[in-house]
Amino acid sequence: MFPKLDPLLHSELRLAVMSVLAGVDSADFSFIKKQTGATAGNLSVQIDKLTTAGYITVEKGFKGKMPCTTCKITPQGRDAFQAYVDALKEYLSAGLD
């Protein structure tokens, strides 16, 4: 039997956000937007969903006079992301047997 995939991470954009954040200490909204190719509105909605789930934290501040939103993956988010990746590997390896 295959492991259950986390439906929150099964969204293409949320998975992309988590993938970006898993590889850095933190990232600002503009960087994530550029890396994912998402629109600002859609990215904002998906970041809110990941924040509500406890997978990322969001800190709002300023760089000079410009507003800056910085995101960081949480330990819970890192565990969920790793479990999702491990589950996908299991799916893929089953297809290779």
Residues 34-46 pLDDT 10s? 999 999 999 999 9
Domain ranges of the chain: 12-96
Name 50's Cβ contacts closer than 8 Å, sequence gap at least 6.
8, 14, 17, 18, 56, 77
CATH 1.10.10.10 describes domain 12-96: yes
What is the average per-residue pLDDT within 65-94? 94
The whole model's pTM is what?
A: 0.91
pLDDT confidence tier of residue 95, bands split at 50, 70 and 90? low
Residues 8-59 pLDDT 10s? 999 999 999 999 999 999 999 999 999 999 999 999 999 999 999 999 999 9
Tokens of 79: 């565990």
